[in-house]
Amino acid sequence: MKLEDARAAGAFEPDLTLWDAWRPEQVAALLEGVREPWYVAAGWAIELFLGEQRREHEDLEIGVPREQFDKIAERLSGFELFIPDGDLTDPGLVWPFAQAPAALDRHQQTWVREPESGRWRLDIFREPSDGGTWICRRDERIKLTYDEVIEWTDDGIPYGRPEIVLLFKAKHSDRPKDEADFAAVLPKLDPTRRTWLVDALRLIHPGHSWLDQI
C-alpha cells in the first residue's frame, strides 16, 4: 500500500517520545476480574519473578490469547488500539485496530493509547492458542497449558514464567538488557526449569551461547 493511501486509511508514524507505560500493578487493577488468561511478559516479567525492579522499562508488554483478545479489548474500551507495522525499535506506521489491513494479522502486537494525553500505555501480544493451551509463536510445537505459563506475585499480578520469557529474549541475547536478565534469572532456575529452557533453546535456537551456561 502506498504511503498516501495508508495515511488516508488512518495510519501514521507514532511519536515514540510519548511512550509512558503503565506499571504492572496499574494494568492488574485495570484488568481485575477479567476471566481470560493474561500475563505480564518480557522484561517486567523478569522483575516480578525476581521481586525487584532492577532497571527502567521503556514499555510494558502483556500476553493474551489471540482468540480471546476481544474480551480484553472490552475492558480497554476507553482507550485507542493500534497495530504497528514493526516493534518499538522500528514501528513503521501504526494502524487503528479497526482499519488495519488484513495483511497485518500476522503482526501480534497491539499498542494502547490514552486519548486524553496521546500517551502510549501498553503493548499487548496477541498470541496463538487453542482453548486453554498456549502455543509458542516462535514454534508451534511448543505448547503449554496457561497454568504452566503463568505465575503470580504475592499481590496477585500474573506474569510469564521466567524460563519462557528467556526463550523469547534469546533471539536478542546480544542486547545488554537481555543478557543481564539471563544472568540474573539463571541462578534462580531449578533443574526442571533449566531442562525446559535447554530443550526449547535447542529446538528454536540450536547452538545458542546460553546453552553452555545453563
Q: Where are the domains of the chain?
A: 3-160, 162-214
Q: In this predicted structure, what is the pLDDT of residue 107? A: 87
The CATH architecture assigned to 3-160 reads 2-Layer Sandwich (3.30)
Residues 123-132: what's their mean pLDDT? 95
Q: In this predicted structure, what is the pLDDT of residue 1? A: 58
Write out pLDDT tens, residues 45-70. Answer: 999 999 999 988 989 999 999 999 99
Torsion sign, CA atoms 21, 24, 25, 29: positive
Write out pLDDT tens, residues 157-176. Answer: 999 999 999 999 999 999 99
Please provide the DSSP assignment of 169-204 as one string.
Answer: HGGGTTSHHHHHHHHHHGGG--HHHHHHHHHHHHHH
Give the span between the Cα atoms of 98 and 201, in whole angstroms.
Answer: 36
Q: In this predicted structure, what is the pLDDT of residue 56? A: 87
pLDDT tier at 103 (50, 70, 90 boundaries)? Answer: confident
pLDDT higher than 80, residue 88: no
Residues 175-185: what's their mean pLDDT? 95
